[in-house]
């Protein structure tokens, strides 16, 4: 297995090759330590793959070292009469070839040792008997030193085959001392042998060194080619082996997301999730300024697109490319008309509240106060009159009979248990901001829901918003709006009601397709003067009004609707001619009764019929 000392002894090219073979990716500007630790991390996570690669490379090095010894022996035989001094040196240098850094040091210092050993037989052959007789004492001293060198050389010869015969699977830390010992001993010989050798031996030693330099080069070239071929084979195998793992964890271009765009003041935006009620969350997706400008995106656009994972130093996912916006292609989005410039009309298409999934409440509302596409409806209710239950019944009836409509339920300043009940019982998108949240969140959620509805209407969709309640929303706007100095009765700021009116006034039917229907509840008789002022401001803005009476609710008659006070403007556009005439007569009959008697009469007669047509036929009798 790889060790940190082994990897540090390798060159940059070898580290790069190991990383490439193992399929490990590092940054371009990474240093040697980064590459070493990248290999060690891969080895820790994939020990089997790293071990197979290490064994394969080491076995290839063993096969290459054996033929490398033979060409090193041949030139030594020609240059010197004795072959023994050249063998151990070639064998010592062979295991060092696995490490380029150790190889360079050995190659620089081994020729010095070989010069010394080759000088010794030269001195014996060149010297004459006269010279030996004249300098016996000096020769003897020098021979003692030479003998010590020979003993050291013999020790090295004995150690070198042992080192060469050791298996390559041993720890790399054991190979370093084996390579460093010949270096130290060769340095000692380099200091001792100049005393033994004279000036006469310089020329032949130079020739021998040149021959040795020539012999080393072809060995290196011969060893590189099979290494490269085998490394390529291992690299191909590793790439095939790791390609499967890469396919499993590559999510580029595969993850798509859908969210509502919110553009911040710095002209970049985020896709907010409805799971967090369009408040900032960790799942938000970053949208750049260039994408917003190029695709013509606005706040409230429902964007579906491909995202990429966050890069190093990034916190959020990023949008690569939008696929569709508000259910339409990107070409249509660039040429759409803004919501403010669309032509509003009276509602002409009625919601069928008496069809599938209908209740007594929805059947009565469908007769006395019909709701059309683009209606601006207000349910005026006292506390505990069943306005939330009525809103839930209307939502379920619209969802069952009009699947083409996109419906959103916006709960502002409501109780958390009612939010959960609405989410579980209504087939619609529920966006809530409970009473324990700040007024800033109420306002932010309401603005984003309105922007989303307007963007969908621009694209020709029919949208319904069920708001509970507009009184609490106006209170939140009054809290957030900076003081203008003009205060109305009840503590309402003069500028605070502009934005709630803008929210409620956005409901309209668009000429050429598309509609926005808002059904909002307003609270009265709460004991707060502010609620009375808010209701009076919204009283004449709606084109449909449904009054709930506390007296009827106290009699446990539901729905507690004041039939005489409830009506729809221009209901003749929503009802057919026959039904309109019958309702005109029926209303005239109920006008003589008080609200409790009228509701009891209608409730008793409508229960015995299956639908509203049968009920109207029974009224003629």
Please state the residue numbers annotated as binding site for ATP.
Answer: 372-377, 384-389, 415
- What are the Cα distances from residue 431, in Å, to 47, 253, 515? 50, 30, 20
- Contact assessment for residue 297 and residue 261, using Cβ atoms and an 8 Å cutoff: yes
Give the integer Cα–Cα distance in Å for 178 and 161: 11
What is the pairing mode between strands 344-345 and 302-308? unpaired
What is the pairing mode between strands 317-325 and 344-345? unpaired
DSSP per position, 213-231: HHHHHHHHHHHHHHHHHHH
Give the closest residue to 538 by CA, choosing from 516, 549, 528, 523: 523
Q: Is omega for the bond preceding 614 within 30 degrees of 0, making it cis? A: no
Give the integer Cα–Cα distance in Å for 357 and 350: 17
Give the closest residue to 585 by CA, choosing from 361, 367, 351, 352: 367
What is the pairing mode between strands 302-308 and 256-263? antiparallel
- To which residue do tokens 């390579």 refer? 179
Give the closest residue to 284 by CA, choosing from 307, 313, 250, 251: 307
Give the per-residue SS3 of 458-500.
HCCCEEEEEEECHHHHHHHHHHHCCCCCCECCCCCECCCCHHH
Q: Is omega for the bond preceding 464 within 30 degrees of 0, making it cis? A: no
What angle (nearest 5°) sits at the alpha carbon of residue 132, between those of residues 129 and 138? 180
Distance of CA 368 to the CA centre of its chain: 52
Cβ neighbours of residue 23 closer than 8 Å, sequence gap 6 or more: 238, 239, 241, 242, 246
- To which residue do tokens 């004459």 refer? 128
Q: What is the DSSP secondary structure assignment for residue 411, as one 8-state letter? A: E
Give the integer Cα–Cα distance in Å for 588 and 496: 41
Here the tokens at position 321 are: 């490319």
Q: In terms of C-beta density within 10 A (0-12 exposed, 13-18 middle, 19 or more buried), how is residue 415 classed?
A: middle
- Contact assessment for residue 363 and residue 390, using Cβ atoms and an 8 Å cutoff: no
- To which residue do tokens 């003081």 refer? 483
Binding site listing: 372-377, 384-389, 415
What is the pairing mode between strands 567-568 and 406-414? unpaired
State the DSSP H helix or E strand holding residue 325, giving kind and residue range, or none if neither: strand 317-325
- Contact assessment for residue 23 and residue 238, using Cβ atoms and an 8 Å cutoff: yes
Cβ neighbours of residue 69 closer than 8 Å, sequence gap 6 or more: 90, 91, 94
Please state, as a whole number, how many other Cβ atoms lie within 10 Å of the Cβ of residue 247: 8
Give the closest residue to 22 by CA, choosing from 1, 45, 42, 47: 42
């Amino acid at each position: 297995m790889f060790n940190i000392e082994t990897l540090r002894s390798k060159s940059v090219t070898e580290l790069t090759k190991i990383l490439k073979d193992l399929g490990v990716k590092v940054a371009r500007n990474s240093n040697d330590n980064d590459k070493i630790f990248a290999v060690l991390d891969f080895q820790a996570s994939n020990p089997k793959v790293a071990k197979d690669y290490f064994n394969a490379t080491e076995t290839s090095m063993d096969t290459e070292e054996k033929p490398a010894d033979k060409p090193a022996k041949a030139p030594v035989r020609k240059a010197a009469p004795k072959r023994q001094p050249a063998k151990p040196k070639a064998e010592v240098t062979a295991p060092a070839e696995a490490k380029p850094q150790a190889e360079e040091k050995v190659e620089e210092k081994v020729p010095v040792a070989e010069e010394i050993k080759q000088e010794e037989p030269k001195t014996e052959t060149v010297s004459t008997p006269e010279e030996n007789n004249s300098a016996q004492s000096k020769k003897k001293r020098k021979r003692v030193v030479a003998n010590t060198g020979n003993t050291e050389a013999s020790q090295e010869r004995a150690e070198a085959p042992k080192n060469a015969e050791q298996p390559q699977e041993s720890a790399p830390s054991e190979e370093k001392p084996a390579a460093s010992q010949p270096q130290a001993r060769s340095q000692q010989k380099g200091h001792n042998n100049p005393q033994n050798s004279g000036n006469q031996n310089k020329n032949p030693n130079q020739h021998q060194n040149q021959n040795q330099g020539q012999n080393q080069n072809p060995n290196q070239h011969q060893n590189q080619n099979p290494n490269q071929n085998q490394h390529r084979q291992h690299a191909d195998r590793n790439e095939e082996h790791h390609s499967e793992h890469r396919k499993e964890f590559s999510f580029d271009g595969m993850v798509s997301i859908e969210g509502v765009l919110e553009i911040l003041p710095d002209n970049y935006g985020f896709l907010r999730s409805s799971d967090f009620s369009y408040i900032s969350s960790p799942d938000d997706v970053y949208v750049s300024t260039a994408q917003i400008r190029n695709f013509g995106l606005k706040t409230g656009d429902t964007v579906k697109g491909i995202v990429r994972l966050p890069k190093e130093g990034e916190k959020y996912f990023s949008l690569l490319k939008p696929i569709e916006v508000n259910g339409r292609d990107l070409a249509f989005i660039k040429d759409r008309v803004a919501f403010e410039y669309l032509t509003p009309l009276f509602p002409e298409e009625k919601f069928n509240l008496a069809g599938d999934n209908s209740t007594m409440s929805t059947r009565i509302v469908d007769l006395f106060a019909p709701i059309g596409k683009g209606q601006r409806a207000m349910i005026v209710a006292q506390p505990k009159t069943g306005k939330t239950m009525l809103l839930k019944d209307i939502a379920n009836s619209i969802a069952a009979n009009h699947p083409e409509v996109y419906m959103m339920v916006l709960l502002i300043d409501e109780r958390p248990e009612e939010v959960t009940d609405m989410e579980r019982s209504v087939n619609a998108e529920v966006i809530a901001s409970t009473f324990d949240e700040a007024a800033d969140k109420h306002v932010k959620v309401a603005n984003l829901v309105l922007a989303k509805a307007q963007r969908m209407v621009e694209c020709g969709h029919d949208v319904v918003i069920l708001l509970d309640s507009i009184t609490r929303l106006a209170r939140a706007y009054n809290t957030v709006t900076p003081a203008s100095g003009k205060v109305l009765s009840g503590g309402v700021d003069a500028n605070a009601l502009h934005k709630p009116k803008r929210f409620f006034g956005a409901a309209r039917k668009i000429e050429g397709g598309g509609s926005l229907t808002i059904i909002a509840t307003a609270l009265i008789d709460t004991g707060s003067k502010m609620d009375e002022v808010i209701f009076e401001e919204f009283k004449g803005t709606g084109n449909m009004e449904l009054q709930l009476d506390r007296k009827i609710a106290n009699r446990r008659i539901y729905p507690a609707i004041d039939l005489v006070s409830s009506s729809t403007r221009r209901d003749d556009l929503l009802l057919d001619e026959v039904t309109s005439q019958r309702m005109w007569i029926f209303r005239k009959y109920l006008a003589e009764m008080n609200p409790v008697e009228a509701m009891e009469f209608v409730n008793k007669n409508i229960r015995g019929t299956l639908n509203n047509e049968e009920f109207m036929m029974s009224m003629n009798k």
